[in-house]
Amino acid sequence: MSISIDGKEWKGTINVKYGEPFPRLHRSTKLENETFGRVLIYITNLGTPEWTTKMSVKIKIKYYITEIIKESQQYKNKRRITKSGIYVIK
């Protein structure tokens, strides 16, 4: 079992194109997360694959984020603000 960096179990959908390997349960893999950027995840649950029209398969997954490989600009800005202690006063 891997350790989550934020303590949350995330839900998402992976598009697996023809020829790409399927995600495997209880394994680590890389994923693009809109909040954090490029991350390493540990898959805890896989849903049933569903065919799409573009020769690909959609799979619902639940996962833990174990490491941030490349931070997104949004995450960098948020972390900089919280690290500096800036507050918005109304």
What pLDDT shows up at residue 83?
67
pTM higher than the cut 0.75: yes
CA atoms within 13 A on the CB side of 63: 27
Per residue in 27-43, pLDDT (tens digit) is 999 988 888 899 999 99
What pLDDT shows up at residue 86?
66
Which amino acid appears at position 81 of this protein? I
Per residue in 55-77, pLDDT (tens digit) is 899 999 999 999 999 998 888 88
Instruction: Calculate ∠ Cα 82-86-90, nearest 5°.
Output: 120
End-to-end CA distance of the chain: 44
Q: Would you call 83 helix, strand, or coil by DSSP?
A: helix
